[in-house]
Amino acid sequence: AQSVTQLGSHVSVSEGALVLLRCNYSSSVPPYLFWYVQYPNQGLQLLLKYTTGATLVKGINGFEAEFKKSETSFHLTKPSAHMSDAAEYFCAVSGGYQKVTFGTGTKLQVIP
Amino acid sequence: DGGITQSPKYLFRKEGQNVTLSCEQNLNHDAMYWYRQDPGQGLRLIYYSQIVNDFQKGDIAEGYSVSREKKESFPLTVTSAQKNPTAFYLCASSPDSNNQPQHFGDGTRLSIL
């Protein structure tokens, strides 16, 4: 069985401030982890993925995430928020033969 | 450019009516998926298909049906048995069904008249 918990359904940051979106997962097999972004009335777009190897993963638009097995976490960060980062972000997990499980999403608001 | 096309963008259903949502991909992906998105609930899997002429129920298949007659196409029918169909529906595909990131269409928003 697998699950994803995203802490905070809404997060607000000031423009230029650090973005931190939290994701914790549960998986009985080595996980594959993903972050997606969704803009209003659009589909999801892959930001980054962790499969194996390097635990710090860099993605598009300046985002990165670190896989921490001991903490079962895969938090998404960006050093400096931009207005265009305002969107909803989804963490997802898969592994073995299980279908991907998505978190419930975190809406990021960027305040000018 | 390769991608996934969902149509229509907006759809309205009358009581007792079946409606079909279209999903076409030109990515040559084997696996395709249908998700339902409701505010605050994330994405819930309705049906998925790993290969042509085969598909499996997801977590919330009741009131929905699908077909996979061609690799490129995976239409979803919302039947009259689905009592609460108002939602945003997303189609996705992946090269295969094992741990690959998914590519998404832009969704269809279904509302009840």
Cβ–Cβ below 8 Å for B42 and A104: yes
User: What is chain A's mean pLDDT, rounded?
Assistant: 95
Query: DSSP secondary structure string, B8-73?
Result: -SEEEE-TT--EEEEEEE-S--SEEEEEEE-TTS-EEEEEEEEETTEEEE-TT-TTEEE--SBTTB
Cβ–Cβ below 8 Å for B42 and A90: yes
Query: DSSP secondary structure string, chain A?
Result: -EEEEEE-SEEEEETTSPEEEEEEEEESS--EEEEEEE-TTS-EEEEEEE-SS-SEEE-GGG-EEEEETTTTEEEEEESS--GGG-EEEEEEEEETTEEEEE---EEEEEE-
pLDDT on residue B70? 97
A29 lies within 8 A of chain B by CB: no
Per-residue pLDDT of chain B (113 residues; tens, 9 = 90+): 679 999 999 999 888 899 999 999 999 999 999 999 998 888 999 999 999 999 999 999 999 999 999 999 999 999 988 889 999 999 999 998 678 889 999 999 999 88
pLDDT on residue B112? 86
Cβ–Cβ below 8 Å for A32 and B97: no
User: pLDDT tens digits for A9-54?
Assistant: 999 999 999 999 999 999 988 899 999 999 998 999 999 999 988 8
Cβ–Cβ below 8 Å for A49 and B101: yes
Average pLDDT over residues A77-85: 97
Closest to B40 (Cβ–Cβ): which among A9, A51, A99? A9
Task: Identify the DSSP state of B94.
Answer: E
pLDDT at position A103 over 70: yes
pLDDT on residue B1? 67
On chain B, the residues whose CB falls within 8 A of the CB of A41 are: 88, 106-107, 109
Average pLDDT over residues A46-73: 95
Closest to A43 (Cβ–Cβ): which among B40, B58, B104? B104
Q: Nearest-CA distance from A88 to chain B in Å?
A: 10
Measured CA to CA in angstroms, residue A109 lies from A9, A40, B96 at distances of: 11, 13, 34
In terms of CA atoms, which chain A residue is nearest residue B109? Answer: A41
B49 lies within 8 A of chain A by CB: no
Q: Nearest-CA distance from B15 to chain A in Å?
A: 25
